[in-house]
A = this chain, B = another copy of it.
Amino acid sequence: MANEKKLVQCVPNYSEGRNLEKIDKIVAPYRGKEGVKLLDYKRDEDHNRVVVTVVGEPEAVKKAVIESMGVAIDVIDMTKHEGQHPRMGAIDVVPFIPIKNISMTEAIELSKEVAKEASEKYKLPIFLYEKSAITPQRQNLSKIRKGQFEGMAEKIKEPEWKPDFGPAEIHPTAGVTAVGARMPLVAFNVNLDTDNLDIANQIARRVRHSSGGLRFCKAIGVELKDRGIVQVSMNMTDYTKTALYRSFELIKIEARRYGVNVVGSEIIGLVPMEALIDTAVYYLGVEDFSMDQILESRLME
């Protein structure tokens, strides 16, 4: 193949969603760097959080992320932070996602390098999570983050919660950080023609992994008050193994029980092309399809 350049995505979450000047400083290390492309950053004032999306070559992304982590530690003071989203540190979480010509193993390795360097440089305790996790307990970010910034000073003194890198005490103003590798997430919501939230919740329970459903699907019921309907709001955590169409068709099947219909869906934010190509290939029953047949795949080489 013409171009074997490795591409990794990184979606660091920082605990600052209100002060534009500080956000600009945090994002600056991702701008104008060879091998790093800033795709997006979305701040949320209620969450008081900014989510940055960058993509690029592993070494270049690694350097930019470590630089940006330093800036975030300088400008964010977690002792004064408030926001609706659960958080435990100035740099709350740093996920690495393999995109192209890079294996999950390599993305895990990269996440460990970042965790090691950043923890030493900034005296920051760091947990490895998701695919990088050392123990099953640490795979799940919400288990690591439980207690949040305010509870973390005590929590990480427990032997069970000793950080994977850095000191066993929190950074006084930056708390702790989780770093890890994961598959791309697809935020996929399916709308129902009812205003009964209980129905959406019951369907969500049947579809999601944690209560007997699809392996790589997280789901909750959500009300869309302005439209007078409810939805099953999902995070598809590995679309290569749990396809979008599978959760969609399963929701249709479960909805029948209530005489309820699926009336549409939403995809929030970015989605890898393959997640939708795979869906089209399923519905059209295309035999022997290869992603190499996609014109744009060839152009990206």
Q: How many residues of A contact B (CB 8 A)?
A: 44
Q: A273 near B: Cβ within 8 Å?
A: yes
Q: Known contacts A276-B276, A300-B300: does B284 contact A270 (CB below 8 Å)?
A: no
Contact A269 B285 (CB under 8 A): no
Q: A258 near B: Cβ within 8 Å?
A: no
Residue in A9, A266, A272 with the greatest tally of chain B CB atoms within 10 Å: A266
Chain-B contact segment, one of A118-126, A136-144, A171-179, A291-299: A291-299
In whole angstroms, how far apart are the Cα atoms of A269 and B184 in the complex?
28
Please report A residues at the B interface, Cβ cutoff 8 Å. 2, 7, 9, 37, 39-40, 55, 99, 184, 191, 244-245, 248, 262-267, 269-273, 276-277, 279-281, 283-289, 293-300
Contact A293 B266 (CB under 8 A): no
A295 proximity list for chain B (CB < 8 A): 9, 55, 99, 184, 270-273
Q: How far is the CB of A283 from chain B (nearest CB, A)?
A: 4
Contact B272 A286 (CB under 8 A): no
- The A interface, classified by DSSP as helix, strand, loop or mixed, is mixed
Contact B55 A283 (CB under 8 A): no
In whole angstroms, how far apart are the Cα atoms of A276 and B297 in the complex?
13
A262 proximity list for chain B (CB < 8 A): 285
Q: Known contacts A273-B273, A277-B277: does B264 contact A299 (CB below 8 Å)?
A: no
Smallest Cβ-Cβ distance to A184: which chain B residue: B295
A299 proximity list for chain B (CB < 8 A): 7, 37, 55, 99, 300
Assuming A9-B295, A266-B287, what are 12 further A-B pairs, CB within 8 angstroms?
A37-B299, A39-B298, A99-B295, A264-B285, A265-B286, A265-B287, A266-B286, A267-B289, A270-B293, A271-B293, A272-B296, A273-B297
Q: Known contacts A37-B299, A299-B7, A299-B300: does B284 contact A279 (CB below 8 Å)?
A: yes
In whole angstroms, how far apart are the Cα atoms of A191 and B288 in the complex?
13
Contact A277 B273 (CB under 8 A): yes
In whole angstroms, how far apart are the Cα atoms of A286 and B265 in the complex?
4
